[in-house]
Amino acid sequence: GESVGLHLPTLSVQEGDNSIINCAYSNSASDYFIWYKQESGKGPQFIIDIRSNMDKRQGQRVTVLLNKTVKHLSLQIAATQPGDSAVYFCAERGAAGNKLTFGGGTRVLVKP
Amino acid sequence: GAVVSQHPSRVICKSGTSVKIECRSLDFQATTMFWYRQFPKQSLMLMATSNEGSKATYEQGVEKDKFLINHASLTLSTLTVTSAHPEDSSFYICSAVGGPETVGSPLHFGNGTRLTVT
């Protein structure tokens, strides 16, 4: 079945540095991708999304890149702050419906 | 923005009892709600999709008679864990779609319910 996976389970980054979180997906029919941030004991919080007809989208301090050729998604966080410490999930949606498939998650630890 | 509220945030119950978890969309009508389960240090796993006024669609391996879902209105879906056992202890999260954004917009999640079965 479809799956979405991550390369790095934990990312430790110095405060102020940029963070890059990677995600691989296997369903070439996926048309929509989302990055979520989850803090301990809370539900996922939307960060940024991108549709399959785009390869880059920018938000506030975050950029999502989509490479459909290799089925790879990344989230870049600029000037990482202590409040960015959390687990980050990528999610992909197939061509039909709103059902999301989540990746395994990457924990980001920001060192002061 | 769209807000999804989940209640309770934490619940402890004895083995064999049933527990009901509520998921409400506070400022929009949710045509579809999703229920996820998340074990510690793991990702979210979809359990079922709930559409208002119709039967829920369960993912493979999820027992529909054990995890009863009711989506009786456009703002409320409930998940009842029946005859709970310690292995049902988990973090249950709902999400809803149908907010003010266009179709296909990101799902909005509740803050989850931590279920502990003793």
- pLDDT digits 0-9 by tens, A59-106: 999 999 999 999 999 999 999 999 999 999 999 987 666 788 999 899
Q: Quote the DSSP letter at residue A94.
A: -
CB contacts, 8 Å: B104 with chain A? 32, 93, 98
pLDDT at B56 over 90: yes
- Which residue's entry shows tokens 């996922």? A44
Of A43, A97, A99, Cβ closest to residue B112: A43
Q: Is residue B86 over pLDDT 80? A: yes
The mean pLDDT of chain B is: 90
Choose among B44, B97, B112: nearest Cβ to A42: B112
In one-letter notation, the amino acid at residue B106 is P
Specify the residue for token string 């119950």.
B13
Q: Tell me the three state secondary structure of residue A84.
A: helix
d(Cα B114, Cα A5) in Å, to the nearest integer? Answer: 25
CA distance B30 to chain A (A): 12
Contacts of B49 in chain A (CB under 8 A): 97, 99
Question: B104 and A93 in contact by Cβ < 8 A?
Answer: yes
Answer whether A2 touches B (CB < 8 Å).
Answer: no
The arithmetic mean of pLDDT across residues B35-41, rounded, is: 92
User: Pick the residue with more confidence: A94 or B111?
Assistant: B111
The partner residues of B90 in beta bridges, in order of sequence, read B115
**Contact assignment for B106 to A45 by CB distance below 8 Å:** no
